[in-house]
Amino acid sequence: MGGGLLGIIHLILIVWALVKIMQSTATTGTKVLWIVLVILLPVIGFIIWLLMGPKG
């Protein structure tokens, strides 16, 4: 049961990160790189994006 809940939370965080990346003012190339990173390395990519990703 706990694994399912963690999976849902993880999915919500990844979708939130992708939406925030698309809404940022970064260049298209930068957005594409962040999206690829978050999708290919979901946990590590999300943490890196959260710490160093485009703001605003």
The model's pLDDT over 41-55, given as tens digits with 9 standing for 90+, comes to: 988 988 898 899 876
Neighbours of 34 (CB within 10 A): 23
pTM above 0.85, yes or no: no
Q: What integer pLDDT is reported at residue 22 of this predicted model?
A: 92
- 35 contact partners, CB below 8 Å, separation of at least 6: 18, 21, 22
| Among 41, 44, 46, residue whose Cα is nearest residue 19 | 46
The model's pLDDT over 6-54, given as tens digits with 9 standing for 90+, comes to: 889 889 999 999 999 999 998 999 999 999 999 999 889 888 988 998 7
Q: Could you tell me the residue ranges of all domains in the chain?
A: 2-52
Burial class (CB in 10 A: 0-12, 13-18, 19+), 3: exposed
